[in-house]
Amino acid sequence: MPQQPTPAPDDPNALLGRKPFKRSKSHFADRITADGRYGWPVESGRYRLVVSRACPWASRAVVSRRLLGLEDALSLAIADPIQDDRSWRFTLDPGGRDPVLGIRYLGEAYDAREQDHPGGVSVPAVVDVPSGQLVTNDYQQITLDLATEWTALHRPGAPDLYPEPLRAEIDEVMTGVYRDVNNGVYRAGFAAGQEEYDAACRDVFRRLDLLSERLAERRYLVGDSLTEADIRLFTTLVRFDAAYHGHFKCNRFKLAESPVLWSYARDLYQTPGFGDTVDFHHIKQHYYRVHSGINPTGIVPLGPDLGGWLAPHHREQLGGRPFGDGTPPGPVPPGEEVPASGRPEPWARE
């Protein structure tokens, strides 16, 4: 196992659980649009998407990029799941540098845009390759723009992930999912006191119960095909048993103990574009080793058994068309495959 980086005295990860948790807003909220009205026009090959496979917010962008077939238009950089005091780093690449941007740390692209910027260094981030400057770290908007502004570069048969007739309903569903589930697990996991934790954890499971009711007789959250809402819920559900149940103490039940949500999550995982972007090894290494404030030993648990992700889900009996009038994405591009260490296989019981 790689050596655990030594936390700096002021490492924010070491302070987790010592003060009330509040998610920072994205400081860099520029948008890349078809008409370039923000100064950043959609252009094939110009931008690089920097992600961590451990991060649920970044994983949204990875799934969207796959489903829409933007791999050739928007290149992908994958950061090491283990951060040091300078945050996300490119130690997975030869020489410890991103081969396109030529930098060791994502923070260098942030600094190229603005010195002494607030809010830290986060993923997903879109970097302008010619200038080396960060364009945006607005995780809420990036995927919406990939779906609506990058349409000229979508693959033939790309699904409509944010269809106009359903946007109001999608937005309403995503608001509750974000507040109580996506962000709720963090509010519970990083809570500094019992009351704060209790309230957040109750919100998580109240919303999961409501979502289970919604999905009991419909295959997808909104409409009869995949939308942005499903992507946003999936990236939390796929991490639930591996990280949030134990590490964040969201343990009223496991995802695998919730029949509807477990079947729904498996359905998505087995859909091209979802599970083929998930690296469970990166997820566990990041959460358990980086969040030193709530797991100071850095010990990573052996479980859970991931084999169930490949079990039949039978959700196709509810109907629906995963890609609407479109088609599934093609194979994962060479070099972007999830290593065997991050894919499900039955837990080797010794």
pLDDT per residue as tens digits for the range 56-93:
999 999 999 999 999 999 999 999 999 999 999 999 99
264 assigned to active site: no
Question: Which of 127, 153, 179 finishes a domain?
Answer: 153
At residue 127, what are phi and psi to the nearest 5 degrees? -115, 135
88 known ligand binder: yes
| Contact between residue 66 and residue 143 where contact means Cβ atoms under 8 Å apart | no
In this structure, are 16 and 134 located in the same domain?
yes
Q: Is residue 16 part of a domain?
A: yes
Sequence letter at residue 60? R
Q: Active site includes 55?
A: yes
Whose CA is closest to 68, among 158, 161, 163? 158
Q: What is the number of domains present in the chain? A: 2
The string of pLDDT tens digits covering residues 223-249 is: 999 999 999 999 999 999 999 999 999
- In this structure, the answer to whether residues 145 and 186 fall within a common structural domain is no
130 assigned to some structural domain: yes
pTM of the model: 0.93
Q: How confident is the model at residue 2 (pLDDT cuts 50, 70, 90)?
A: very low
Residues 126, 128, 134, 135, CA torsion sign: negative
Q: Which one of 153, 188, 217 terminates a domain?
A: 153
Q: Can you give the CATH number for the domain in which 125 is found?
A: 3.40.30.10
- Range of 195's domain? 164-342
Task: Quote the pLDDT of residue 119.
Answer: 82
Instruction: Indicate which residue of 110, 139, 186, 220 is catalytic.
Output: 186
The DSSP bridge partners found for residue 51 are 78
What count of residues does the chain have?
350
CA–CA distances in Å: residue 319 to residues 145, 200, 220, 261, 274: 29, 34, 10, 17, 19
Q: 247 and 298 in contact (C-beta within 8 Å)? A: no
Domain end call among 153, 186, 218: 153
DSSP 180: I
Same-domain pairing of 134 and 183: no
Q: Does 183 share its domain with 325?
A: yes
- Where do the H-state alpha helices sit in the chain? 56-68, 107-113, 139-148, 167-177, 184-189, 194-215, 228-239, 259-269, 280-290
